[in-house]
Amino acid sequence: MEGRQTGRRTRKGATNYRLVVIGTALVLAWAAIGVRLFQVQVVRADELAAMGLDQRLTVKDLAADRGNIFDREGRELAITVDATTVYANPQQVTAPEITAPLLAAALGLNADELLDKLTSDKSFVFIARQVEWAQAEPVTKLGQVGIHWYTEPKRVYPAGSMAAQVVGFVNIDNQGIEGLEYGYDEELSGSPGRLEAEQDPDGRLITFGEYEVAPAIPGSDLVTTIDREIQFIAEEVCEDTMVRTAAQRCSVVVLDPATGEVLAMVTLPGFDPGNRSDTDPDRFRNWTALSVFEPGSTQKLVTVAAALEEQVVNWSTTFEVPDQIEIVSGACPDNEDVYGCFSDITPHEPRIMSVRDIVTRSSNVGTILIGRELGEKNLANYLEAFNYGAPTGLDFPGEAAGDINLANGCQSCPASAAIGYSVSVTELQLAAVYATIANDGVWMQPHLVKEIVDGSGVRSPVDPERREVVSADTARIGRLLLQSVVESDDGTGQQARVPGYSVGGKTGTTRRFVVGEGYTGDFVASFIGMAPIENPEIVVAVVVDAPFSDNTGGRAAAPAFAEIVERTLHQMGVAPDAS
């Protein structure tokens, strides 16, 4: 019995021992956990929380939507849509010889070039950038390892090549590099935003986690002054004119003289901004505002308007006009017509001509005589007042200033300038001169953007500069003289007549000047005019560069002017004012 009790005590002792050990172990374990918890939750809490957050946190740049470009009626000229960019990580591609032809077939690419990309030692190569989803979708279903895609904005031009030089275009990163896209890049671009948020391993947002967003500020929209319908008419007529005359280039400006708004601005040949990879960069140039030429006879309006304004002549003042005039002594026998000897196009006996006759028949000699009455200084002043030699301030990048060459010592320059040589202008500058006459003598700054509308809908209309250059009376006489050019039987602009409308304008034919080459055998034919003449709604300038046939302003440009005026006035709903 004692033995049993001893054994029981021994077992009890062992049990107690085990309990102590286990208890101690548990206490130690809990203590260890506690220590670890203390370490994790207190000592390294911030560090570990930051590490965890770092794994979950994602920071994304939120691209700002690029503003749209509209025509004056709110029709889209440039918008941004989502496109898909396909790329590859060649290090992940396991079977490039299989993947390459599959991708090539889906995306219409060259399989060999793709194979080169997929076998390169890079970890990122573009396969196709900014393709439509319909084209990219088959790629996403191929299930090829190492092929990825993402969505990015793409600029598109729904009107195609229409007004391409005006609207311009962006590069692959949506930065404007030509035209209004370039000139207004800052306004159109907006400001990118930033998103900082937690996401799970599948990239899904954890809404109750860290979340901070600075929204992107969308770019402003541009509402241009361009009228899509008038632009189309002008482009179509210009194209026909190029075919008819085999010209190298045709350009048109249509202005609203009352506001200075550019309704159409055409340079042909043009290009498609959405597909321009093989296009000659020369076609990107907006010829009407960026390139200058000697205006020739279209310039005579300035000389005559200045003389009328200064009251040195009136429309019925007469001159005895020979067919040739020698400005530089001894020039005429050598027939150096530009440098000191000036002639009318058609030889004639000296005759009495009124100012009206001089303008109607476009007499060079007669205009030089009017210029003499006006004086060199006055002529220079009026050229400047009509904005020669300075950009008009058109809201378009790179506008040319033109030039007035009345340097001291140039004997023939005043005479040259009176008839449109020794000065160079852009087509737009010249159109603005005619718009001044159409607008009762008030020069309106030509402009392409009607208003800028920011992302929240606040509209900022453009306020163009205006100034009076000549009186309304002078302008009215100027319009009647231009009408005579078109409607008189001896006028040089008869082919500019428009059934149902009273039209006025002036022809111009100059020899083409090329920097470094001088005058070439080619001509620049132009016609600038307005309609209806009493209260002009439009001013249209047509310049045909280097026409092969019908190379005068009256034959190459005047018919184009007439067609543009007729169709535009119908489009605008302007009632006919003549029988």
Partner 1 sequence: MTARLAPAPQKRPHIRVVPGRGIQPLRMAPWLLFTVLVVFIFFALIYSRTTLSDSAFRLTEVDAQIAQEEASFQQLRLEVARLQSPQRIVPLAEQIGLVLPYQVRTVEAAGVTGSEGGAEARWAEVKSILTASP
Contact residues: partner 1, CB under 8 A = 68, 70, 72-76, 79-82, 133, 151, 156, 158-162, 204-208, 221, 223, 228-229, 232, 236, 450, 453, 457, 499-500, 567, 570, 573, 575-576
Structure tokens at 217: 């500020």
Instruction: Indicate the angle between helix axes 364-374 and 376-385, nearest 10 degrees.
Output: 100
- CB–CB of 146/99 below 8 Å? yes
Neighbouring residues of 456: CB distance < 8 A, sequence distance ≥ 6: none
Q: How far is the CB of 494 from partner 1 (least distance, A)?
A: 20
- Strands (E) in 132-279, as ranges, are 147-156, 169-170, 176-178, 193-198, 211-214, 221-224, 249-256, 261-268
Q: How far is the CB of 319 from partner 1 (least distance, A)?
A: 41
Q: How far is the CB of 559 from partner 1 (least distance, A)?
A: 15
- Strands (E) in 33-124, as ranges, are 57-62, 69-70, 76-88
Residue 80 or 165: the one with the smaller Cβ distance to partner 1 is: 80
What's 63's DSSP letter?
A: P
Interatomic CA distance for residues 523 and 545, integer angstroms? 7
Residue 17 or 211: the one with the smaller Cβ distance to partner 1 is: 211
Residue 73 or 282: the one with the smaller Cβ distance to partner 1 is: 73
Helix (H) or strand (E) segment spanning residue 101: helix 96-107
Pairing outcome for strands 221-224 and 69-70: parallel
Residue 199 or 324: the one with the smaller Cβ distance to partner 1 is: 199
User: What 3-state class would DSSP assign to 518?
Assistant: strand
Q: How far is the CB of 78 from partner 1 (least distance, A)?
A: 10
Q: How far is the CB of 363 from partner 1 (least distance, A)?
A: 36
Q: How far is the CB of 126 from partner 1 (least distance, A)?
A: 21
Q: How far is the CB of 205 from partner 1 (least distance, A)?
A: 5
Q: How far is the CB of 446 from partner 1 (least distance, A)?
A: 18
Residue 333 or 457: the one with the smaller Cβ distance to partner 1 is: 457
Residue 9 or 570: the one with the smaller Cβ distance to partner 1 is: 570
Q: How far is the CB of 207 from partner 1 (least distance, A)?
A: 4
CA 524 to chain centre: 24
Three-state SS across 451-492?
EEECCCCCEEECCCCEEECCCHHHHHHHHHHHHHHHHCCCCC
CA atoms within 13 A on the CB side of 90: 16
Structure tokens at 389: 């030699």
Instruction: Indicate the angle between helix axes 364-374 and 300-309, nearest 10 degrees.
Output: 40
Residue 157 or 293: the one with the smaller Cβ distance to partner 1 is: 157
Residue 70 or 287: the one with the smaller Cβ distance to partner 1 is: 70
Q: How far is the CB of 189 from partner 1 (least distance, A)?
A: 17
Q: How far is the CB of 199 from partner 1 (least distance, A)?
A: 9
- CB–CB of 35/162 below 8 Å? no
Neighbouring residues of 88: CB distance < 8 A, sequence distance ≥ 6: 99, 117, 118, 124, 125, 127, 146, 147, 148
Residue 18 or 75: the one with the smaller Cβ distance to partner 1 is: 75
Q: What is the CA radius of gyration of the chain?
A: 38
Interatomic CA distance for residues 430 and 141, integer angstroms? 59
- CB–CB of 392/476 below 8 Å? no
Residue 221 or 427: the one with the smaller Cβ distance to partner 1 is: 221
Residue 530 sits at φ, ψ, to 5 deg, of -150, 165
Residue 79 or 400: the one with the smaller Cβ distance to partner 1 is: 79
